[in-house]
Amino acid sequence: MNENPYKLMVVDDERMIVNGLVQLIEDHFLDAVEVRKAYSGSEALAALHKYPVDILMTDIHMPAMTGLELQKEVKDRWPKCQMIFLTGFNDFEYVQEAIRNESTDYILKTEDDTVILDAIQKAITRLNNQFQAEAFLANAQMKMKQVQPILQKEFLWRILNEHEYTEVEQLQNQLTDLEIPLCADQPVLLVLTRIDDWGNKSSTNDRLLMQYAISNIVSEYMGSMTTHYSLTYDNHKFIWLIQVKQGDQSKIITNQSIPSYVYQNLEAIMTTCKQYLGVTLSMLAANHVVSWSMSASKFLELQRILNIQFATKQEFILLEPEEYIPIPLPTTSIQIQLSKIPMLGTYLETGQREPYFTLFVSLIKLVQDNSKEQQGIQLHLYYTIVSIYIAYLYQSGILHELSHRIDIQTLTHFEGHPTFESAVHYLQQTAEVIFSHKKEDIAERDREVVRKIKQYIKQNLAGDLSLTRIASLVGFNRSYLSRLYKQMTGKGLSEYIFEVRIHHAKTLLRQPQLKIHEISDLLGFESPAYFTRFFKKATNLTPTEYRELDH
């Protein structure tokens, strides 16, 4: 439901009718509706250009511009506006045209007040439903945008690690839905990039900024001929998926020549990154393009070259050797599963506790026996997870804050644990501490938002207290803020504003030097009469009666 009063305008060339309707509406819809008035169609249209309304109640028969003509103008400019027609003519043709133009209701002036009030309530209900639907859609779109980078990463990570073939049509649909600018029916060239030295970029934000900057540099050098997308893993490595750009340029760069073209540009990219960003890189490009179904195998091969043969070398550019003989590694299926470890970092960063422990448990199950071969993998798995924890704690700036709950000495010394099982248990405990802290941190930020809102309301009772203004103050959209505030306080935002105004009104009424109209102004009411109705509805006393009773 909308937290702000809806704007309603009454339009009729008979002043007595307009004033009577305004009084009726204000008496029955004090909190839900703000009422404006106009005495002709042209006057209403001019006012609407300055102050659009949500509900328009208009007479059909008016001189110069009829209500139906006004409706057409309104529907063209403000299609969401609800229409209510009032007329003294019980003419079926008018009813037909009003309905055909999607008016909310058609009421005879001779009908009872309850019919008029029911029509307004009907319009309010429609607006509430419309507002709720739009809020759901906006919230869904916002959340989709927020999680889209994570969804893109998870999707491509599965493609590059699970060795599962996806049909071209299905793959293209997924790429399109996730807004990944690659084609499912075209092969890809894989390029691995490792950041050897971040320079003075130590914070998470700085490093994310550097990744975006590197991506922009790649676009500068290769964007005219290729389409590319990067995927970060292991905190300081990322893989580029590169394709020949479709169109006229494809006659210049082909799937056969793209490895050479990319390789020729890598040195310029590396030099530019070092010169302008202060970041040093090492880069390894595949020597040929592969189909999407073969991308996981190629990724695994390139990782072996980068992580084993060139693990200690820095600032190099390499095209995959033609005669490279893969070094045999323990059980291919285990190696494929272990390649999912970086996703633990993603789940940790985004606070996804359940997916984190699901993956964590599945990885531990791979290496539960204590054979000599698996002992080495256990050690690798343990320290890789530890490195994810340390990176997160350091980059989030909470390493010192959690030092009393996480013993870094114990965490970083596998040999200090009597068994592998106890080491795993300590990893689990550490993760629980991090997730718990993240949850507490989010809750504290939410409490700070509520405190900020309450402070603003108390200091701006005569100012703009619309949900739009308050939402912009704290940086959230309106529907999310409404839900958050109610979730945190147990009451709606408009209810709190109502309570603060009443409380402050009572305080001001105890000061006899202040006149009623002055108090009305201080509280932000449009008129003393509106303040009086507001106060009486809340206390069953007029401001004057309350002041006399209080003394």
* Structural contact between residues 240 and 270, judged by C-beta atoms closer than 8 angstroms: no
pTM above 0.75, yes or no: no
Instruction: Assess if residue 396 is contained within a domain.
Output: yes
Residue 511 CB coordination number (10 Å): 10
Same domain for 405 and 367, yes or no, is: yes
Question: Do 175 and 311 reside in the same domain of the chain?
Answer: yes
Residue 157, in any domain of the structure: no
In a domain, 152, yes or no: no
Neighbouring residues of 130: CB distance < 8 A, sequence distance ≥ 6: 80
| Exposed/middle/buried for residue 126 (C-beta within 10 Å: 0-12, 13-18, 19+) | middle
Q: What is the pLDDT of residue 332?
A: 52
Note the pLDDT of residue 10. Answer: 94
Cβ proximity of 212 and 321 under 8 Å? no
Largest CA distance in the chain: 99
Closest residue by Cα to residue 231 from 255, 211, 258: 211
* Number of structural domains found in the chain: 4
Which of 90, 116, 135 is the endpoint of a domain?
A: 135
> In the numeric block, which tokens belong to residue 450?
């509520």
Parallel/antiparallel/unpaired status of strands 237-244 and 226-233:
antiparallel
Q: 17: closest CA among 114, 120, 121, 108? A: 108
> Rounded to an integer, what distance in angstroms lies between the CA atom of residue 84 and that of residue 66?
14
Gap between the Cα atoms of 426 and 417, Å rounded = 9
Q: Are residues 275 and 321 part of one domain? A: yes
DSSP state of 204: H
Check if the beta carbon of residue 243 is closer than 8 Å to that of residue 188.
yes
For strands 280-285 and 189-197, give the pairing: antiparallel
**Percent above pLDDT 70 for the chain:** 87
172 and 80, same structural domain?
no
Angle between helix axes 353-366 and 420-459 (nearest 10 degrees) is 170
Query: For residues 423 and 229, what is the distance between their CA atoms, to the nearest angstrom?
Result: 37
Query: Do 511 and 475 share a domain, yes or no?
Result: yes
Nearest-angstrom CA–CA distance, 9 and 66: 15
My answer on whether 476 and 537 are in the same domain is yes
Beta strand 189-197 with 237-244 is antiparallel
pLDDT digit string (tens) for 157-200? 888 876 555 688 888 988 888 888 899 999 999 999 988 888 87
CA angle 10, 106, 45 (to 5 degrees): 35
Range of the domain at 528: 460-550
418 and 519, same structural domain? no
Q: Is the domain of 430 the same as that of 342? A: yes
Is residue 452 a part of any domain in this protein? no
pLDDT given for residue 328 in this prediction: 43
**Cβ(340)–Cβ(321) below 8 Å:** no
CATH of the domain at 113: 3.40.50.2300
Q: 9 with 83: CB under 8 angstroms?
A: no
Q: Of 91, 120, 135, which marks where a domain is finished? A: 135
Do 180 and 254 have their domain in common? yes
Give the span between the Cα atoms of 532 and 334, in whole angstroms. Answer: 75
Query: Could you tell me if 88 and 45 lie in one domain?
Result: yes
| Same domain, yes or no: 278 and 343 | no
Output the pLDDT for position 252. Answer: 75
Would you list the DSSP string of 189-243?
Answer: EEEEEEEEE-TT--SHHHHHHHHHHHHHHHHHHHTTTEEEEEEEETTTEEEEEEE
* All residues at 6 or more sequence positions from 210 whose CB lies less than 8 Å from its CB, including other chains: 195, 198, 201, 277, 279
Residue 148 lies in a domain: no
DSSP type of residue 307:
I
Examine residue 411 and state whether it is found in any structural domain, yes or no: yes
Q: Report the C-alpha gap between 145 and 245 in whole angstroms.
A: 26
Cα 83 from Cα 8, distance rounded (Å): 10
The answer to the question of residue 151 being in a domain is: no
pLDDT of the residue at 330? 47
- Do residues 185 and 90 share a domain? no
Structural contact between residues 138 and 151, judged by C-beta atoms closer than 8 angstroms = no
> Residue 314's pLDDT is what?
82
Q: What is the distance between the alpha carbons of residues 42 and 382, in angstroms, rounded to a whole number?
A: 76
Could you list the pLDDT tens digit for every one of the 551 residues in the chain? 556 788 899 999 888 888 888 888 888 886 778 889 999 999 999 998 888 888 999 988 888 888 888 988 888 888 888 989 887 766 556 665 655 555 567 888 777 888 888 889 888 888 888 877 776 766 666 665 667 777 888 888 888 876 555 688 888 988 888 888 899 999 999 999 988 888 877 677 777 788 888 888 888 888 888 898 988 877 788 899 999 987 655 467 888 889 888 988 998 898 898 888 888 898 999 999 999 988 888 888 888 787 766 767 788 888 887 655 444 444 555 666 777 788 888 888 878 889 899 989 988 888 776 666 677 778 888 888 888 888 888 777 887 888 888 888 888 888 889 988 999 999 999 999 988 888 888 788 888 888 998 999 888 888 888 888 888 887 777 777 888 888 888 888 888 888 888 899 899 988 889 898 888 888 888 788 888 888 888 888 888 888 888 65
Question: How far is 261 from 536, CA to CA, in rounded Å?
Answer: 79
Q: Is residue 212 part of a domain?
A: yes
> CA–CA separation, 357 vs 354, rounded Å?
5
Q: Which of 325, 354, 388 is the last residue of a domain?
A: 325
Amino acid of residue 406:
I
C-beta atoms surrounding 7 within 10 Å: 17
Name the token pair of 298: 């190629």
